[in-house]
Structure 1
């Protein structure tokens, strides 16, 4: 099979790896328009479940990914001068440059041809049995047939900027700062021994009120360093992460498609779907797309059946993530509804932001109900454990 992947991000590279592992005779090429090593972005995050899956499908790249990632198992929230900390699931961070370097090296070792600075347009697709559109949210291959794919884009309200920092956070960190123009907040997590990702977000009126919409990058970084001085501990913020003009304030675009394939053209990763960055799932979903597509191609000799299965499985699997992302973005857009709770309660509801019920229940009441439900579940587990023991005791047998 001859396969062309357009886009050298995680989805395209990992699919190429899996296809060559399945059958070394496959002719697989990855075309990436940017120069090697010039990727945008700082660190990406993923969770233990993904790493376990990667070990199942390609242990060598999984070991390299694991070795170059940093870990945390706590979350911390700073609200004004108050701080609360909780243990949680194990998270992992890795620099996007390092992630792509690992996947590129592994792909080449398996015989994949990875061509950088090579742009493929919709009107000059290479001859191939399968063309994979892995060219991101702005996919030109998808846009050429947007009517067929049923592409829809919904733009969020809040503005955000993706930055780096020399502060190495020891946990997934949230910091909420009140200004005279409203609240501004950041999410931070480490991705190597000397740097962290720091995403800053605020409502549009806060952005304009602080003058951040008019400030150049240096002025904006200086102001943000002052606003988040407590959490940054004197460390600086770093901009200019984009290979195409530096860091900038954005609105998040949630992209969906009615179908993910047309003939021998198939969408993967951000070309097929996006989920709000606040749930930290983008890289995971892209790699899972590659896993499912590779499996479908292995198990179905006919391409239409393989692509139909891939679309069906991934669309179904994405529903919970898309719902969680939608409600998570809404939580931050409704931040004034929660921010004046005691930090412990606010952080608890931050952890519940994926709930479809939360926007419709008074926050204090939701917190109390959630706590009560947790206690009831603990009681149920205790009763399930105790029941057999009491039954055995009633019959004169010891556990």
Structure 2
């Protein structure tokens, strides 16, 4: 491998460049980022425990730098119309400001002699003279769009609307709050990502989007409205915007991960959904898998790219499947909010992806499950009766 061009200077692109420098020290590795240095959007992200362990295996220096800049989060306060439940336990996560994550990776790129070209939007990836072109350029990937048919990509949009805000309120623990209002159904997830800031992701369903008039408001008016809806959660602290507006998230999937010497990783390949906190993890693990396949087939690029997809598909499919079940749950959450109390809604939320069996719930959340064991058993029984009735219909 002599020359590698990475389009996109987000976490996956920068991390891939760092891994490429380690595995192919003689190769020329360059990153092309359309935004200025120091620019970003949104606020904090969470890197889950499993992902952090894999980052450390791939690049201990990068993983240690990320952890040093992160704030460990665990537990969650789950509330439904003000009725709060403390969910103690579960895996930890490293919450970090997105700009801090980018700066950490940028500093490592500079230390390893990897050029990152800012304000360099590549409209046609084929103008780059590189043996390998890596499309790490997000949901609006120019690499994917240039060869959309050959990548076999598809895109559709969720009906819920979401805004990625920040706030100066320091939440002691991450929260997930559901509120039924005269304007419709709203919910928010928030968690601290620094000593002074928290991330605050607000969301509503399609009915609330139009009934509340959010669809007719300016971005500033929407933020003011969100502060009113979630006044109890914010406790007098303001919401802050950084290119934050209410959007419907795209669902992007690709049948083929590479076309010729062009390959996709991260959001360009499979768009994320923040409800399982694994978007950045999936993107950075794509980088790890791609480097592994290239290192095992250094003289046969077509085989390396084919191996990247073949090997990594099963592991990616687990997280993508969980992500899809999660966003499907949120797409139907209004009906659940109307028919469940806080405890049963929490149970439904925790089991929404199918990855947490009853045994795993008791193992990872022992205090919570023991405290609400009677409600859990009753809920499980009611679900079994409903399933039996459905099967006999």
SS at match of 1:187: strand
> 1:309, 1:266 → 2: CA distance?
12
Map of 1:107-118 to 2, 5 A cutoff?
Answer: 107-118=109-120
Cα drift, residue 366 of structure 1 = 8.9
> 2:20, 2:179 → 1: CA distance?
47
> 1:336, 1:293 → 2: CA distance?
40
Is it true that 1:149 corresponds to 2:151 in the alignment? yes
Select which of 242, 249, 254 maps to 2:251.
Answer: 254
Structure 2: tracts of 5 or more residues without a match? 358-374, 385-393
Aligned to 1:279: 276
Map of 1:297-376 to 2, 5 A cutoff?
Answer: 297-301=294-298, 302-339=300-337, 340-355=339-354, 367-369=379-381
Larger displacement relative to structure 2 (31-40 or 57-66): 57-66
Cα drift, residue 39 of structure 1 = 1.3
Alpha carbons 2:80, 2:341 under 8 Å: kept: no
Cα drift, residue 369 of structure 1 = 4.7
Relative distance call for 1:265 and 1:214 in structure 2 (3 A) is same
The root-mean-square deviation of aligned C-alpha atoms, in Å, is: 2.2
TM-score of the pair, normalised by structure 2:
0.88
SS at match of 1:164: strand
Alpha carbons 1:331, 1:353 under 8 Å: kept: yes
> 1:46, 1:55 → 2: CA distance?
12
SS at match of 1:254: strand
Alpha carbons 1:72, 1:170 under 8 Å: kept: no
Aligned to 2:75: 74
Aligned to 1:52: 53
Map of 1:60-99 to 2, 5 A cutoff?
Answer: 60-87=61-88, 88-99=90-101
Alpha carbons 2:184, 2:212 under 8 Å: kept: no
> 2:208, 2:73 → 1: CA distance?
31
Structure 1: tracts of 5 or more residues without a match? 373-399
Aligned to 1:377: none
SS at match of 1:135: coil
> 1:122, 1:369 → 2: CA distance?
57
Cα drift, residue 124 of structure 1 = 4.8
Relative distance call for 1:255 and 1:370 in structure 2 (3 A) is farther
> 1:123, 1:222 → 2: CA distance?
41
Cα drift, residue 137 of structure 1 = 0.8
SS at match of 1:213: helix
Aligned to 1:31: 32
Alpha carbons 2:322, 2:354 under 8 Å: kept: yes
Q: Which has the larger radius of gyration?
A: 1
Larger displacement relative to structure 2 (78-87 or 313-322): 313-322
> 2:104, 2:12 → 1: CA distance?
13
> 2:270, 2:4 → 1: CA distance?
21
Alpha carbons 1:46, 1:92 under 8 Å: kept: yes
Aligned to 2:121: 119
Cα drift, residue 172 of structure 1 = 2.1
Q: How many residues of Structure 1 are paired with residues of Structure 2 in the alignment?
A: 363
Cα drift, residue 217 of structure 1 = 2.6
> 2:224, 2:146 → 1: CA distance?
41
> 2:205, 2:42 → 1: CA distance?
22
Cα drift, residue 123 of structure 1 = 5.8
Select which of 168, 193, 201 maps to 1:191.
Answer: 193
Cα drift, residue 219 of structure 1 = 2.1
Relative distance call for 1:97 and 1:305 in structure 2 (3 A) is same
TM-score of the pair, normalised by structure 1:
0.87
| Cα displacement string for residues 48-78 of structure 1 (whole angstroms, at most 9, x for unaligned residues) | 1111111222122211111111112101112
> 2:34, 2:127 → 1: CA distance?
14
> 1:370, 1:289 → 2: CA distance?
41
